[in-house]
Amino acid sequence: MRYFYAPDVHPMHQLDAEESKHMVRVLRASVGDEFLLIDGRGGRYHGTLHQLDKRQCVLQTQLIERVPAPEVELTLVIAPTKSTDRFEWMLEKAMEYGVRRIQPVWTTRSERSKEKRERWNRILVSALKQSQQLWLTELMPAMSWEEYLTLAQGPGFIAHCEVGEKQHFFEVMNPGESCWVAIGPEGDFTPDEIANAKKTGATEVSLGAQRLRTETAGLAAIQMFALAQRSPLT
């Protein structure tokens, strides 16, 4: 069944002009056709096409289930890469893996500082539908690394390639505990940025012997976190 995303689903749900046009022109839907609606906040609805109009379609909806967000969540704090494509690819994959929150940060060595919130959100929504999940990865407004450090909550980890005493992220994170992990830009975090993170209580970590690109490092951290949630019980 076809998925629709709508952040607020109403019992008589009106699709916007773009979705309505899609319904009529592309899907060639008929009154009575059935759909699934997801609100990205755990709600899954059944929808029946009630009114067909290329400017405004109406779906009659009914809640099927509301699934709570996983209790243990990862916030991926990451410096957007110079290449938009690479960053957007990372967003799509992060959503597929179901990461709870992404916090873009600008750092000293960031090679770009243009936030594309709408476009990035569209990519996340499309990956949400494609991967048929119920919780949309939350995209936080971009901010500077220093500002993030003043707001950061809970246990945090900073992954970097500078020399120093680092343990592997997989080894030091606590399964069952929400945390954030920060990934730097192409040129890495500066020693000052690392020192400031440590002052706020963050732990320096390694992601392994290889130097990964920013977007790869982000995905690697997400996978390590996801795997850790299953250990040591399964």
- Helix residue spans in 44-142 (DSSP H): 84-96, 117-130
Compare residues 58 and 205 and give the one whose CB is closer to ligand SAH.
205
| Least Å from the CB of residue 145 to ligand SAH | 11
Q: Which amino acid is at 147?
A: E
R_g of the chain computed on alpha carbons = 20
List 188, 197, 219, 222, residue binding ligand SAH (CB under 6 A): 188
What three-state secondary structure class fits 101?
A: strand
In the bound state, the residue with its beta carbon closest to ligand SAH is 184
182's enclosing H/E stretch is strand 179-183
C-alpha count within 13 angstroms, C-beta hemisphere, residue 178: 13
Q: Which of 137, 154, 134, 140 is nearest to 68 (CA)?
A: 134
| Least Å from the CB of residue 141 to ligand SAH | 21
> How far from 2 is each of 66, 82, 212, CA to CA, in Å?
19, 35, 37
Size of the site for ligand SAH (CB under 6 A): 17
Give yes or no for residue 159 binding ligand SAH (CB under 6 A): yes
List 183, 197, 202, 219, residue binding ligand SAH (CB under 6 A): 183
List 43, 80, 156, 184, residue binding ligand SAH (CB under 6 A): 184
Three-state SS string over 124-179 comes to HHHHHHHCCCCECCEECCCEEHHHHHHHCCCCEEEECCCCCCCEEHHHHCCCCCCE
Compare residues 210 and 231 and give the one whose CB is closer to ligand SAH.
210
Q: Taking CB under 6 A as the criterion, which residues in 189-228 touch ligand SAH?
A: 189, 206-208, 210-212, 214, 217
Distance in angstroms (rounded) separating the CA atoms of residues 49 and 93? 32
Compare residues 46 and 82 and give the one whose CB is closer to ligand SAH.
82
Q: Please tell me what DSSP assigns to residue 210.
A: S
Give yes or no for residue 94 binding ligand SAH (CB under 6 A): no
List 42, 155, 175, 187, residue binding ligand SAH (CB under 6 A): 187
Compare residues 87 and 189 and give the one whose CB is closer to ligand SAH.
189
Give yes or no for residue 172 binding ligand SAH (CB under 6 A): no
Compare residues 16 and 111 and give the one whose CB is closer to ligand SAH.
111
Distance in angstroms (rounded) separating the CA atoms of residues 114 and 120? 12
Compare residues 134 and 221 and give the one whose CB is closer to ligand SAH.
221
Compare residues 38 and 181 and give the one whose CB is closer to ligand SAH.
181
In the complex, the residues that contact ligand SAH under the rule CB under 6 A are: 159-161, 183-184, 186-189, 206-208, 210-212, 214, 217
